[in-house]
Amino acid sequence: MNLQVYKFLRAEAEADKAKALASLHLLTNHPSGTGDHSTKDYWGNCDEAIRLLASADERMETLEKYFNPQTPVEEK
């Protein structure tokens, strides 16, 4: 994989992870920031944030496993 593509994908996953963690922090420490303040919105926003976090972690893990620029692909 081209190093620039690797760095882009890694940075995008790291940004999504940071966004998810910030969202979860706000939702759990400042729930007044939730939409119309209904529990449905609250749980939906929490679920959305945790899914984004899991996706980001999975993408970073996949990049490391298959495309780590410091380790040749043949060794994986």
Q: Which pLDDT score is estimated for 39?
A: 76
Range of the domain at 39: 3-68
User: What is the mean pLDDT for each group of 10 consecutive residues in the chain (76 residues)?
Assistant: 93 98 90 65 91 98 90 50
Q: Which pLDDT score is estimated for 70?
A: 76
Q: Is residue 23 part of a domain?
A: yes
pTM of the model: 0.80
Q: Is residue 75 part of a domain?
A: no
CA-nearest of 28, 73, 23, 66 to 48 is 23
Distance of alpha carbon 35 from alpha carbon 61, whole angstroms: 32
Q: Which pLDDT score is estimated for 76?
A: 43
Q: Is residue 76 part of a domain?
A: no
Q: Is residue 22 part of a domain?
A: yes
Distance of alpha carbon 23 from alpha carbon 53, whole angstroms: 10
Q: Is residue 73 part of a domain?
A: no
| CA–centroid distance for 24 within its chain | 12
Q: Which pLDDT score is estimated for 1?
A: 85
